[in-house]
Copies of this chain bind each other. A is one copy, B any other.
Amino acid sequence: MSSVSSPGIDAKRNEDFSEWYTQVVLKAGLADYAPVKGFIVLRPYGYAIWESIRDLLDRRFKETGHQNAFLPVLIPESLLSKEKEHFAGFTPEVFWVTKAGDTDIGERLALRPTSETLAYSVFAKWITSYRDLPLKINFWNSALRAEIKATKPFIRTSEFLWQEGHTVHATEEEAEQEVMMILDIYRDLIENYLAVPSLTGYKSDGEKFVGAKYTTTLEGLMADGRALQMGTSHHLGQNFSKPFEIKYLGKDTKEHFAWQTSWGVSWRLIGALIMVHGDDKGLVLPPQVAPIQVVIVPIHKDKDAKLVKDRAAEIESELKRAGIRAHMDGRDEYTSGWKFNEWEMKGVPLRINIGPRDIEKGQAEFVRRDTKEKIQSERAELVDTANKLLANIQESLLSRARAFLNENTSRPDSYSEFKSIIERRGGFVMAGWCEREECEERIKQDTGADIRVIPFEQKDKPAKCIYCGQESKKAVIFARAY
């Protein structure tokens, strides 16, 4: 895909994080800008990472009783505005269709900013009795929100790929369990597949999903010290079931309003992968979600070409048979040095170099993307070595990211220290909060940091609110965020 002249990343991650990020996205072939400002095209390599994420989640959703379905992208304005608070939250960024061909359509149609209202108008028809519950539906689609702020591929774009789950339950408790089960599926994906540690907990009322009773979240910390919200799972209570009349006839032969949840993750997760694991050479992908786990580069002069390529192809088949996503780069029009740079930029976790001398010695050389370490392997042990190295890379990416998160979580004693940390080094800042919106708002205005998450784990709660000094009700994590 890249042309011969395609240069490597020339921005340094620690000097100009934003420019470095953009270069990784474009040069590793993950995405490209679309003709309309704020929109991106997901290129095949980026899409393959999205497919890894999608397939993992899809399997988990199905195992836990969810089914996929499809809703139109167009939502009538009257429907979108049925839950007032929800509508007010989304309306400034809604794209509106007003014409079909040359004809003005009657009521204008919103491009799906999220599907609660449309889904629930339909669910109301499907649910009549307790026998129809729970209803657990997921949609893999894209959402559209006109972004006024500066856009950033994967992190903030006017259209994004995501999944949105919507469930309906007979009881509040069952909805509560669903919210937490989904959050746990997300945590497992993000931690054990994307190798990104996160803090889980509640959003403050000021930051929760518009229309939710409460929102739970997973917050990650990027290499530049800014937080990223990586997924949310909402308890909607009966806030939607009442206006949308989602009612069921119970075993008690009485009508009840149902309890609901909604939840989603998006291609933001690809942004997190870049910003947590990437380095000056480009992307570093965790083996579990890497479209190519091992790339094999034959190194040869013309006279050895056939011998070396045949052996490289043999290794490729051997790895593939063992279930490893391997790729032999046999292109003649590029030098091996050029190939090394390209596959490093694309973050392939392991490379095998194979040349005539390796073949003579019955060996091959592995090169780890994360540590650049070189490892010799006997030909007979290739699959074993590959599997061990992949597992090791997966683990070591997570533990490195976890160490970074811990090192960059501060606990200031005073508001002046708090401000200086946010200004000087960023990261997560754990502080006490009195639970008054006023303090939350003031801190945000002063420092640009907001409450990212109120952790479930509350055992280290500071005694006083970091802003007003009154008794603290909760330990919360502040940060500047994407």
A residues sitting closer than 8 Å to B (CB atoms) are 1, 3-4, 32, 34-36, 39-44, 46-48, 50-51, 67-76, 79, 91-102, 108-109, 111, 118, 121-122, 125-126, 128-129, 131-132, 135, 137, 142, 144, 146, 158-159, 161, 331, 333
Contact = CB atoms under 8 A, between A and B. Distances in A.
B111 A97 contact: yes
A4 B97 contact: no
Given A67-B44, A126-B1, A128-B3, A118 B34 contact: yes
A70 B161 contact: yes
Nearest to A136: B44
Given A3-B129, A95-B99, A126-B1, A76 B35 contact: yes
Contact of A101 (B35, B94, B108, B126): B94
A459 to B, nearest CB: 42
Given A44-B67, A97-B97, A128-B3, A72 B118 contact: no
A35 B132 contact: no
A66 to B, nearest CB: 9
Nearest to A44: B67
Given A34-B72, A35-B79, A72-B34, A96 B100 contact: yes
A142 B41 contact: no
A259 to B, nearest CB: 19
Given A36-B109, A131-B333, 9 more contacts: A34-B72, A34-B122, A41-B122, A47-B69, A48-B67, A48-B68, A94-B100, A96-B97, A96-B98
25 contacts: A1-B132, A3-B129, A4-B129, A32-B122, A34-B72, A36-B72, A41-B70, A41-B71, A42-B69, A42-B70, A42-B71, A44-B69, A47-B69, A47-B70, A48-B67, A50-B70, A51-B68, A73-B73, A73-B111, A73-B144, A73-B159, A74-B159, A91-B101, A96-B99, A97-B97
